[in-house]
Amino acid sequence: MTAPDNIRKLSINNDAREMLVRAREEGIETVWDRLKAQEPQCGYCSMGVSCRNCAMGPCRVDPFGDGPQKGVCGADADIIVARNLGRTIAAGAAAHSDHGRDILEVFSELAAGKTTGYEIRDEGKLLALAGEWGIETDGRAVDEVARELADAMMEDYGSRKERIGFLDRLPEQRGKLWDELGITPRGIDRENVEMLHRTHMGVDNDHVNTLLHALRTSLSDGWGGSMVATELSDVMFGTPKPIMSRVNLGTLKADSVNIALHGHNPMLSDVIMQAAEDPELVALAKEKGAAGINLVGLCCTGNELQMRKGLPMAGNHLMQELVLLTGALDAMVVDYQCIMPAVTDVAKCFHTEVISTADKAKFTGATHISFDPHRGLEIGKEIVRRGVEAYSNRNPDRVQIPEGSVEMMAGFSIEAILGALGGTPEPLVEAIAAGKIRGAVGVVGCNNPKISQDHGHVTLCKRLIENDILVLVTGCSAVANGKAGQMVPAAADMAGPGLSEVCKALGIPPVLHLGSCVDNTRILVLAAALAKHLGVDISQLPLAGAAPEWYSEKAVSIGAYVVASGIYTVLGVQPPVFGSQNVVQLLADGLDDVVGAKFAVEPDPEQAAVLIRRHIEQQREGLGLPFIAATEIKSQAA
């Protein structure tokens, strides 16, 4: 079907457009309608110059100089913008790190033998981690080692140490630089709490000092909480290996019970996948007239399961309401983060049951089934049973599933990437040195209804691979690239000659799926390993980061820890900092002299690709590698 222009511009994907047409026809409100209703959005807030940190306010300063230049307490634009950015980073870092803590708590209970439905699936990784953390492994029982590792990681959340445990992974230069700058993260919770303290009225009133701590806070996420989440998820659910899967709304099946797993934490969804294979529940589904039980993923819970088990993905962030509009979803199981409160409103227009599972994330209008790892499998079965029961309420006349799904490959943990290279980064280094691969870029982050859905991700990645730049994706970017067909080995044909040759030799796509958003830590680990291998700092490598369609506070924390780790990062959506020239100057320029990397903002993905290619060529030149002159790059973009 062809959607009218006003709908076509909202998303580049036909499945989304078809559901948007249906939403308009049936008068069902979606995120795009609500964005429109909010416009024009507040200019002060968009520029970051409004403050409601205390009851003398709320205040705003006028960035154009006509109105007040200071809040009631005397805070100017620099202070207000820096404080707001610091709080945003703290919220994002807290979300990732608390997710990590939840995984760690289940891991600890597993080690104590108190869970059902969990096991240590990657003992080798557990032992390697224990070794890294200085825990004796020789001759000891695995669960004993696991308990000690869990305790050591728990300590990282507090503030008992000078530095958190994963920092030994850093190249020496980077660790030293952070020490000199005073931004070495000491404790995961500590840096977050200190950020909130500093941004209370009358504490840190020097915007540079505030922003340095914002970097420290983000590092406690990237090299702390998120890294705990990734590493322990690998231990408990398996370290991903390349696996084929499918993506888009066509992964729903009209003849089956359809259950979507939405959110971020794989703890419960992993046992739900086990439960969906339970013969009794499959028989129940058949009794109700269904062919079977079909699970699909949304957002990062989906990514976690796709990486390890090939779970088909219904879509990314902006698909969460549209999947309900198919009328074919019997249950949406949610944990936390990026789940729009609106899902229960849309679900009401159909028979879909929304089931919330995290006690810290309840939704009005949802059925709450509290997750408890001690009864993991039992709860998983209870949830699947509800989905099967809900199937009986489905109205077949209201089912409309967009046709066809797209094949994609997932599962590129660092272990898998190194495995494909024969166990060492050397072949990758050689390919980069020879210019077959010019560099690598992590393209990460969300969808944002302010940008045509997936346009930023797909266009940027396309241009990068055409220029022999290897792309590593996570989160919603992975889903976007998957739908565009850029994540199968055959997509090597879309890449430039050098990258194409390497991909074909290894049988891998030019855009590699590294997992969920906490798995951006895999990119950090790879970057650190490459830098160490070459004896240079991360900031010298031909690497970049990009978040073309970001929306979330977590994405801001990611961007901050990527830059603080020494990687140039281009944002596609303007962050609310433009009310302070000093803050903008620092982020977009000054930081380069501090941490060896900086931010750029470029909404046009074609231009973002040019910026990134230029940066990569400069980095190559710095390392004495063959490079393409900037003028030549410019002409390629024309």
Binding site for ligand SF4 (CB under 6 A): 51-54, 56-59, 71-73, 75, 80, 201
Interhelix angle 475-483/455-466, rounded to 10 degrees, is: 70
Q: Is 552 in the site for ligand BF8 (CB under 6 A)?
A: yes
Question: Residue 506 half-sphere exposure, CB side, CA atoms within 13 Å?
Answer: 25
Q: Which does 338 bind (CB under 5 to 8 A by kind): ligand BF8, ligand SF4, none?
A: ligand BF8
Q: Which does 445 bind (CB under 5 to 8 A by kind): ligand SF4, ligand BF8, none?
A: ligand BF8
Site string for ligand BF8, 461-500 (x = CB under 6 A): --------------xx------------------------
Q: Which does 52 bind (CB under 5 to 8 A by kind): ligand SF4, ligand BF8, none?
A: ligand SF4
Q: Least distance to ligand BF8 from the beta carbon of 548, Å?
A: 11
Is the CB of 85 or the CB of 257 nearer to ligand BF8?
Answer: 85
What's the distance, CA 418 to chain centroid? 22
Q: Least distance to ligand SF4 from the beta carbon of 575, Å?
A: 19
Q: Is 446 in the site for ligand BF8 (CB under 6 A)?
A: yes
CA angle 458, 464, 469 (to 5 degrees): 135
Q: Which does 58 bind (CB under 5 to 8 A by kind): ligand BF8, ligand SF4, none?
A: ligand SF4
CA 326 to CA 329: how far, in whole Å? 7
Contact residue for ligand BF8 among 59, 214, 300, 420 (CB under 6 A): 300
Question: Hey, how many other C-beta atoms are within 10 angstroms of the C-beta on 464?
Answer: 30
Q: Least distance to ligand BF8 from the beta carbon of 554, Å?
A: 5
The amino acid at 573? V
The amino acid at 206? D
CB 57 within 8 A of CB 39: no
Q: In the numeric block, which tokens belong to residue 399?
A: 């089912």
Is the CB of 91 or the CB of 499 nearer to ligand BF8?
Answer: 91
Q: Is 299 in the site for ligand BF8 (CB under 6 A)?
A: yes
Q: Which does 145 bind (CB under 5 to 8 A by kind): ligand BF8, ligand SF4, none?
A: none
CA 374 to CA 377: how far, in whole Å? 9
Among the residue ranges 279-287, 362-370, 393-401, 550-558, the one whose residues contact ligand BF8 (CB under 6 A): 550-558
Spell 154-184 as b/e; 16+ CB within 10 A means b.
eebbeeeeebbbbbebbbebbbebbeeeebb
Which residues contact residue 388 at a Cβ distance below 8 angstroms, ignoring those fewer than 6 apart?
257, 281, 284, 285, 288, 290, 293, 330
Q: Which does 75 bind (CB under 5 to 8 A by kind): ligand SF4, ligand BF8, none?
A: ligand SF4
Q: Is 323 in the site for ligand BF8 (CB under 6 A)?
A: no
Is the CB of 17 or the CB of 317 nearer to ligand BF8?
Answer: 317
Q: Is 82 in the site for ligand BF8 (CB under 6 A)?
A: no
Contact residue for ligand BF8 among 236, 281, 338, 410 (CB under 6 A): 338
Q: Least distance to ligand SF4 from the beta carbon of 74, Å?
A: 7
Q: Which does 326 bind (CB under 5 to 8 A by kind): ligand SF4, ligand BF8, none?
A: none
# residues near ligand BF8 by CB under 6 A: 15
Q: Is 317 in the site for ligand BF8 (CB under 6 A)?
A: yes
Q: Least distance to ligand BF8 from the beta carbon of 258, Å?
A: 20
CB 311 within 8 A of CB 333: no
Is the CB of 314 or the CB of 446 nearer to ligand BF8?
Answer: 446
CA 338 to CA 336: how far, in whole Å? 7
**3-class secondary structure, 51:** strand
Is the CB of 472 or the CB of 628 nearer to ligand BF8?
Answer: 472
Q: Least distance to ligand BF8 from the beta carbon of 444, Å?
A: 7
Which residues contact residue 350 at a Cβ distance below 8 angstroms, ignoring those fewer than 6 apart?
324, 325, 327, 329, 395, 398
CA 468 to CA 501: how far, in whole Å? 10
CA 360 to CA 294: how far, in whole Å? 27
Q: Which does 182 bind (CB under 5 to 8 A by kind): ligand BF8, ligand SF4, none?
A: none
CB 108 within 8 A of CB 154: yes
The amino acid at 436? K
> Which residues bind to ligand BF8, rule: CB under 6 A?
264, 299-300, 316-317, 338, 445-446, 475-476, 516-517, 552, 554-555
